[in-house]
Chain A
Amino acid sequence: MSRPRTQAEYLARLVPPSVAGLNRRTLLAGAAGAGGLLGTGLLAGCGDSDSGGSGSKTVSMGSNASDPTPKDVLAKVSGAFKTSSGIEVAINTVDHNTFQENINNYLQGKPDDVFTWFAGYRMRFFAERGLAGDVSDVWGKLSGFSDAFKKASTGDDGKQYFVPFSYYPWAVFYRKSVWQQYGYQVPKNLDEFTALANQMKKDGLIPIAFADKDGWPAMGTFDILNLRINGYQFHVDLMAGKEAWTSDKVKKVFDTWAGLLPLHQPDALGRTWQEAAQSLQQKKSGMYLLGLFVAQQFNADEQADIDFFTFPEIDSVIGAKALDAPIDGYMMARKPKSEANAKKLLEYIGGVDAANISVQTDPGTLVANTGADTSGYSALQKKAAELVGSATEIAQFLDRDTRPDFASTVIIPALQQFIKDPKDVGGLLTSIENQKKSIFTS
């Protein structure tokens, strides 16, 4: 479900990309599934490892940074933290998807003092259920975060439960060389976008690369269309279950999408996002709506050839200033073994030094702290940071902004159903609404 960050960076080069969607992460998720069925949380087991009593010079951290680059960032950050504070960080790395799928068991067992998580509904939910520690006093010592980030770190009770670390925007990516070759211009509105896509079709390109085998990439398309057509507040209310899925507003999103669907890469349901990204990389497709992590599928010498634009305006009243830019960061357990050490670590992670380490180490994300020295950013990162900086509202992503049970058991099959058969939107929306009512009332 999560957006992989540097998934299969090296694997993708060794084996056909068709396989890249099916690497150890998937296998481990399956294994975790088996473990979960037996009523045991893999993570709960991992969390038991004792990392010393309170007052000691250690703090434990549960990490989902299982991919090489983020793992490296975290290792460097914890190394620097040890140098500055003398406190040792015991990092307990768990496969990214496994971590996410076992989070309930993990937090109710013996979680590590500090753990990786995302901003959004799920963060607020854990805060509300008392499964996360209040870190408002850490926020008192932090600086360099915009109000949007502080808001994204705040629970329903007005206290902060989350320290942001990095984020990445969703946008429409393309290759400069391809666009120069055909003389394409960045579209300003939906009509221009459609005309551009049709022109690409005439030029023998697949206009919009598309994949939804894993279920979540199509959420990005839905999100951006919904944000452009109905605006940010409607997105929030719809995700919170307050708006009806059967309303004309939602119907208009799907109708617009249905109009664009013939311009998308066909047979998306059997394709992984890596394969779709490679069609862009191989200059077979003209553009691709995805997160910044799309760059992983490009070779090092092609990185400078990647460019993007934010999805164009559909309704001039709404504009094109809102976007999905999921934030990754850290939370504290409800009862950390050493609260003082945990807070010190969070303060360090939220600080400029840790952000600078990320800038130097990970070209795939942007750092949340504006105080960081971003001169090390690539041109793509700089542009991405500007895009998010100019955004009026930042959404997290469909599955981070709503209940996970609703996102995974209702929305994923529904969007796949829509991609299969875009004609019966009415029936589909009625089905979503019926299931939504049942889930949100429970």
Chain B
Amino acid sequence: MSDLPLIQADRAVEPPAATTTSGGRGRRLRLLSRTDRVVITLMVSVPLLLVTALVWLPALATVVLSGTDWDGIGPLADIDFVGGRNYRDVFTIYPPFVPAVQHNLLWLAALFLVATPFGMFLAVLLDKELRGGRFYQTALYLPVVLSLALIGFVWQLIYSRDQGLLNAVLGTDVDWYGDPGVNIWAVMLASGWRHVGYIMLLYLAGLKGVDPSLREAASVDGASEPKAFFRVIFPVLRPINIIVLVVTVIESLRAFDLVWVVNKGRNGLELLSALVTQNVVGEASRIGFGSALATIMLVVSLVFITVYLVTVMRGEDR
């Protein structure tokens, strides 16, 4: 089934290719019929238009608005520009900003160093065709199917200080969601629980696609299991590894839902995304100030995106 579109595509390309060879002028042009050119123009312009309208224009508008003190009410002509005041305020007198940056970095580190490797590890285990593998697979993937809002709900049952499962079982009195020194870890555990399942499934799909003869060859050559994995399988899975890496970075930058469900990103759970939402969305409507925060987040994201693109392109050149 899956290679059906490929066949159709091949057929679709053939007839014009035949007609163009009989033409007379410049080689490049001759390769493309009029239909081709229309199709290509559409294929380039439609996504370009969408990306511009839905990504770049809003991003640009955010940057412009970050220089204003707009409260979201009244015509655009009434907007006053205040220069860099919003940015100055963010860095000097806005107490949640520094913790938010720290928490975002912590989030990235925790997902990258703990959750992602653990998910990959589980995938390798499940790839071994254990008895009941399907069951484990489903159990581990279940959190991914649930919405993060629901996950927040489930974990609240566990973490509640007075009535939660965890304190009841451990006999402790820890304020899991309220203590600002503890709650970020509690929330990251909940978020990691979901992330592990996601990574596991992605990686498992990759592992299933590895040619079994590679493993056989490795074992015939006397490579141990770990050695075979790190020297043979892992390099072969490079495309999946990159996807996993990107997913991890994206997940940590857009971490928001869980924190928002717990306490709207306050009191030890500050994240850049939550601060943007607190300011822009809702009654507050500090559009200008929130846009300044969003712009800072954009810049941080751009750093990661640039690093990623550079790495990927370098890899392709080789």
Interface string of B62-103 (1 = CB under 8 A from A): 000000010111100000001001000100111110000000
B292 to chain A, nearest CB (A): 12
- The verdict on A108 contacting B73 (CB below 8 Å), with A22-B261, A442-B82 known, is yes
Cβ of A74 under 8 Å from chain B: no
Q: Contact size class for A?
A: 35 or more
**Shortest distance between the CB of A343 and any CB in chain B (Å):** 25
Is the CB of B210 closer than 8 A to any CB of chain A? no
Closest chain-B Cβ to A391's Cβ sits at a distance in Å of 27
Whether the Cβ atoms of B162 and A439 lie closer than 8 Å is no
Q: State whether the Cβ of B284 lies closer than 8 Å to any Cβ in chain A.
A: yes
Q: Is B119 among interface residues, defined by CB-CB distance under 8 A?
A: no
**Which residues 378-406 of A sit at the B interface, judged by CB distance below 8 A?**
404-405
Give the A-B contact count at a CB cut-off of 8 A.
Answer: 141
Contact A269/B93 with A17-B163, A33-B260, A408-B278 known, Cβ cut-off 8 Å: no
Instruction: Say whether A270 contacts B175, CB under 8 Å.
Output: yes
**Within 8 Å CB of A414, what residues of B?**
95
Find B285's partner among A19, A21, A104 (CB 8 Å cutoff): A104
**A439 touching B286, Cβ below 8 Å:** yes
Q: How far is the CA of A33 from the CA of B290 in the complex (A)?
A: 14
Q: Which residues of B contact A361 (CB under 8 A)?
A: none
Contact for B149 among A30, A268, A405, CB less than 8 A: A30
- Which of these, B74, B278, B279, B283, contacts A103 with CB under 8 Å? B283
Question: Are the CB atoms of A271 and B281 closer together than 8 Å?
Answer: no
Known: A213-B178, A270-B176. A30 touches B281 (CB 8 A): no
CB distance from A39 to the nearest CB of B (A): 7
Smallest CB-CB separation from A441: which chain B residue? B69
Residue from the list B73, B82, B157, B160 in contact with A275, Cβ < 8 A: B160
1/0 per residue B269-306: CB within 8 Å of A?
00000000111111111101100000000000000000
In the assembled complex, A185 has its CB within 8 A of some CB on chain B: no
The answer to the question of B127 belonging to the interface, with a C-beta cut-off of 8 Å to chain A, is: no
Residue B56 is within 8 A (CB to CB) of chain A in the complex? no
Cα distance, A148 to B283, chains bound together (Å) = 26
Q: How far is the CA of A394 from the CA of B283 in the complex (A)?
A: 23
> What is the bound-complex CA distance between A37 and B281, given in angstroms?
7
- Asked if A19 contacts B157 (CB within 8 A), the reply is yes
- For B162, the closest partner residue in chain A by CB is A275
Interface centre among B163, B257, B281, B289 (most CB of A within 10 A): B281
Q: When the two chains form their complex, are residues B73 and A409 in contact, meaning their CB atoms are under 8 A apart?
A: no
Least distance between B163 CB and chain A CB atoms (Å):
5
Task: Mark B150-167 against chain A: 1 for CB-CB distance below 8 A, else 0.
Answer: 001100110111111000
Q: Which residues of A contact B277 (CB under 8 A)?
A: 33, 36-37
**Which residues of the other chain, A, contact B248 by a CB distance below 8 angstroms?**
none
Within the complex, which residue of A122, A269, A408 is in contact with B175, where a contact is CB–CB below 8 Å? A269
Nearest chain A CB to B79's CB is how many angstroms away?
11
Contacts of B279 in A (CB 8 A): 405, 409
Partner of A26, one of B69, B85, B261, B285: B261
Which of A270, A412, A434 lies at the interface centre, i.e. has the most chain B CB atoms within 10 A of its CB? A270
- Whether B23 sits at the interface, judged by CB under 8 Å, is no
Closest-by-CB residue of B relative to A39 is B58
Chain B residues lying within 8 Å of A48, measured Cβ to Cβ, are: none
**B153 close to A19 (CB less than 8 A):** yes
Per-residue contact bits, chain A 241-261, to B (CB 8 Å; 1 contact, 0 not): 000000000000000000000
B266 adjacent to chain A (CB < 8 Å): yes
A contact residues around B266 at 8 Å (CB)? 215, 412-413, 416
**Please, how many angstroms separate the alpha-carbon atoms of A39 and B82 in the complex?**
23
A9 at interface (Cβ–Cβ under 8 A)? no
> Which of A37, A105, A215 gathers the greatest number of chain B CB atoms within 10 Å?
A37
Within 8 A of B (CB), among A49-82: none
Chain A residues with Cβ below 8 Å from B179 are 267, 269-270
Q: Give the chain A neighbours of B281 by CB distance below 8 A.
A: 32-33, 36-37, 101
Q: In the docked arrangement, what's the CA distance between A103 and B285, Å?
A: 10
Given A36-B281, A405-B286, A408-B278, the answer on whether A16 and B160 have CB atoms closer than 8 Å is: yes
Chain B proximity of A99: nearest CB distance (Å): 10
A429 to chain B, nearest CB (A): 12
> Is there a chain A Cβ closer than 8 Å to B267's Cβ?
yes
A122 contacts across to B, CB distance below 8 A: 283
The answer to whether residues A267 and B180 also contact, given A36-B280, A413-B95 and a CB cut-off of 8 A, is no
Q: Does B30 contact A (CB under 8 A)?
A: no
Question: Does A27 lie within 8 Å of B149, measured CB to CB?
Answer: yes
Chain B residue at minimal CB-CB distance from A408: B284
Contact, CB under 8 Å: B74 / A129 = yes
Cα(A267)–Cα(B177), bound, Å? 10
Tell whether A3 is near chain B: CB-to-CB under 8 Å: no
The interface bits of chain B over 213-251 (1 if a CB of A lies within 8 angstroms of the residue's CB, else 0) are 000000000000000000000000000000000000000
User: Is B104's beta carbon under 8 Å from chain A?
Assistant: no
Contact at A268–B178, with CB atoms within 8 Å? yes
Q: Is the CB of B95 within 8 A of A104?
A: no
Min CB distance B27 to A, Å, is: 46
Asked if A438 is at the interface (CB within 8 A of a chain B CB), the reply is yes
- Some 22 contacts from A to B, beta carbons below 8 A apart, are A16-B160, A18-B160, A18-B164, A36-B277, A100-B282, A104-B73, A104-B285, A215-B266, A267-B161, A267-B175, A269-B179, A270-B160, A270-B175, A270-B178, A408-B278, A408-B282, A408-B283, A408-B284, A409-B289, A416-B266, A417-B95, A431-B95
Given contacts A16-B157, A270-B159, A420-B180, 4 further A-B contacts (CB under 8 A): A19-B156, A19-B157, A409-B279, A431-B93
Which B residues are closer than 8 A to A by beta carbons? 58, 69, 71-74, 82, 85, 89, 92-96, 149, 152-153, 156-157, 159-164, 173, 175-180, 183, 257, 260-261, 263-264, 266-267, 277-286, 288-289
